A = this chain, B = another copy of it.
Amino acid sequence: MNDSLQKELTSRKSGICLYGFAPPKQATPSDELEAIVAQQLVRLGALPVDGLIVYDIQDETDRVSTPRPFPFLPTLNPEIYAHEHLGPLAVPKIVYRCVNRDTPDGFVRWLENVNRAAAPRIAVLVGAPSNRSHFGLPLTDAYALARQYAPNLLLGGIAIAERHARRLDEHERILAKTEQGCRFFVTQAVYDVTSTKSLLSDYAIAIHDKGGVPLPLILTFSPCGSLKTLSFMKWLGVAFPRWLENELRFATDPLAKSLELCEHIFAEVWDYARDKGIPLGVNVESVSIRKVEIEASVELLQLLRGRIERSER
């Protein structure tokens, strides 16, 4: 794995393009897994990206009271999937790790292993999905252990604009996570331009007040091609303004409409972030496993990458 993405992130480069996905299910039979890996090596290797994000999927059912629209099925360990199965891919990888499933000992073993890797690694540590789930390793402890046992590991954090809309303190969480070692941040899928701009605005003001430099904020975009995908994203905590949800619900082609809306949202936030001096990047994903939605996510990646290239020319 080359260290180009590390350099781009730590030099706070604007316009970083990533593609995010979850590893295959744990229950995948080994011959099937082999076929999936072979296919992904080709498909992901062809993507015009600066890096891949491999998610660590949690069963978040204690976060919300409504039933999960899709059943939760445990996936393969993202670290192993990224660096072993997809090891032949030269493209840099960012691995998510949900630390609320870790014990301190287990987490330290993981850190020591990561720190010994031939090329420096990049990880995003994820805390408990809700305040109600107080088990496992607290995020703050995980950051402290990471600084101690894996100084070579480049750390990123999660930033959630929807949380900012409710509590107006997400920029403070970003600053606190920066103190704890994070060097970039990734959002969840952006469909609400207002809360995203509000988070950028408060972050820019805070950085201006305390001195220092704004870190790269990677905005996640995710196509939404069906009412089922829409309800799943809402379940995951993604906010949809009423009018935008109506547009998707009543579109003859919701998938195409969602791409159009995502591109429009990106353009507005991109201009705003540029005005505020915040380096923005994108991470495109598909929360659905339907072929058309996965293909649309690649199309969206190309659309957004094209916009970035045109604006930087």
Interface residues of A (CB under 8 A from B): 164-165, 168, 192-194, 197-198, 200-202, 205, 241-243, 246-247, 250, 272
Partner of A242, one of B193, B201, B241, B246: B201
Partner of A198, one of B165, B197, B243: B243
Asked if A241 and B198 make an inter-chain contact with CB atoms under 8 angstroms apart, the answer reads yes
- Those 10 A-B pairs whose CB atoms lie nearest each other, nearest first: A198-B242, A201-B243, A197-B243, A198-B243, A201-B246, A194-B241, A194-B194, A198-B241, A205-B246, A168-B242
Asked if B242 and A205 make an inter-chain contact with CB atoms under 8 angstroms apart, the answer reads no
Asked if A243 and B168 make an inter-chain contact with CB atoms under 8 angstroms apart, the answer reads no
A247 to chain B minimum Cβ distance, whole angstroms, is 7
Asked if A197 and B250 make an inter-chain contact with CB atoms under 8 angstroms apart, the answer reads no
A108 to chain B minimum Cβ distance, whole angstroms, is 40
**Knowing A194-B194, A250-B205 touch, does A200 contact B168 (C-beta < 8 A)?**
no
Q: Which residues of B contact A272 (CB under 8 A)?
A: 243
> How many chain copies?
2
A226 to chain B minimum Cβ distance, whole angstroms, is 19
Closest Cβ neighbor of A200 among chain B residues: B243
Partner of A197, one of B192, B197, B241: B241
Of the listed residues A192, A197, A243, A246, the one surrounded by the most CB atoms of chain B closer than 10 A to its CB is A243
A251 to chain B minimum Cβ distance, whole angstroms, is 12
A280 to chain B minimum Cβ distance, whole angstroms, is 15
A243 to B243, CA, bound (A): 20
Q: Which residues of B contact A247 (CB under 8 A)?
A: 201
A181 to chain B minimum Cβ distance, whole angstroms, is 28
A250 to B206, CA, bound (A): 12
Closest Cβ neighbor of A246 among chain B residues: B201
Closest Cβ neighbor of A198 among chain B residues: B242
Q: Which residues of B contact A246 (CB under 8 A)?
A: 198, 201-202, 205
A117 to chain B minimum Cβ distance, whole angstroms, is 40
A109 to chain B minimum Cβ distance, whole angstroms, is 42
Q: Which residues of B contact A250 (CB under 8 A)?
A: 205
Closest Cβ neighbor of A247 among chain B residues: B201
A37 to B201, CA, bound (A): 44
A272 to B272, CA, bound (A): 21
Given contacts A165-B242, A192-B194, A198-B246, could you give 13 more A-B pairs where the C-beta distance is less than 8 Å? Answer: A164-B242, A193-B194, A194-B194, A194-B242, A197-B243, A198-B241, A198-B242, A200-B243, A201-B242, A201-B243, A201-B246, A202-B242, A202-B246
26 inter-chain pairs at a CB distance below 8 angstroms, sorted by A residue, are: A164-B242, A165-B242, A168-B242, A192-B194, A193-B194, A194-B194, A194-B241, A194-B242, A194-B243, A197-B241, A197-B243, A198-B241, A198-B242, A198-B243, A198-B246, A200-B243, A201-B242, A201-B243, A201-B246, A201-B247, A202-B242, A202-B243, A202-B246, A205-B246, A205-B250, A243-B272
